[in-house]
Amino acid sequence: MKRLSVVFFTVLVVVLSSGISGKAAYVSADLMTEMMNSKKLKLLPVSKDFRNYFILQSIDNQTNIIVGRFVGSEKKIILIEDHNSDNTIDRVYEYYPDRPENNNLISLPKSTSDLVYDIESMKKDIISGEIFSKNYTYTMRSMSDLLKKINKNEDIYKHQHGYTVKIYDPDNRSTIMGDFFFGRKDGRYYLQFTTHYYKLFHSKIRPLVPQSVYCVNSKDAAVKEAVEKLVKLKER
């Protein structure tokens, strides 16, 4: 029985560590810095361990929600476009990576996925991290982690028109596990959440898409609300 337990534990660690194996396809850190569109959806990674991902991207006037849905009979990556950041769904694209190339991208008025709901709530849930706790996903750094750092006034650095916050590996303080940026300038808002890796048992798990929030020069109300809250807390 003891030997079986050891074997089971070993297999479990190998499975959970698959997120950092050489076989996984990771997204370039630069991909989220440019507005996502239907042509770029095929550049996003497809999870091999069925974990979904959710991304909030808001650049200038447009806000996108990107959903990688890999649980179920057919994998798909969804792009929801809110062209004026007013919580209106202007266009939805669904990309099916396993379908033939001439039939793998569909334009729809709304998503067919059960992971998609009211986009105003989705934006807030991605920022808060609630959406990750409710779904099978990687563990992403979210608002609760950032609030803890601000309340402790720990590892926070003034940078340009905002603040950078680092989460260091407690076993190696020279290594950054995650980082944040929040700020405001000329009536626009900046908010970025990045998870480089997290630990499970003694393994490092690296999300396929490190950014869960990437907002630059945004006018989106959900981003504004979050940034105003953070700035007020930091500068109290």
Percent of the chain with pLDDT over 90: 81
pLDDT single digits (tens) 63-98: 999 999 998 889 999 999 999 999 999 999 999 999
Give domain status of residue 92, yes or no. yes
Question: Residue 47 corresponds to which amino acid?
Answer: S
On whether the CB atoms of residues 190 and 162 are closer than 8 A, the answer is yes
How much is the pLDDT for 97?
96
3-state helix, strand, coil in the chain (%, to 5): 30, 35, 35
On whether the CB atoms of residues 106 and 91 are closer than 8 A, the answer is no
pLDDT single digits (tens) 23-61: 345 666 678 899 999 999 999 999 999 999 999 999 999
pLDDT single digits (tens) 109-122: 999 999 999 999 99
Give domain status of residue 4, yes or no. no
Among residues 162, 215, 166, 158, the alpha carbon closest in space to that of 184 is found at: 162
Question: How many domains does the chain contain in total?
Answer: 1
Give domain status of residue 50, yes or no. yes
* pTM of the model as a whole: 0.87
- The burial class, CB within 10 Å (0-12 / 13-18 / 19+), for 160 is exposed
**Residue 162's Cα: distance from chain center in Å?**
20
**Domain containing residue 172:** 36-234
How much is the pLDDT for 195?
97
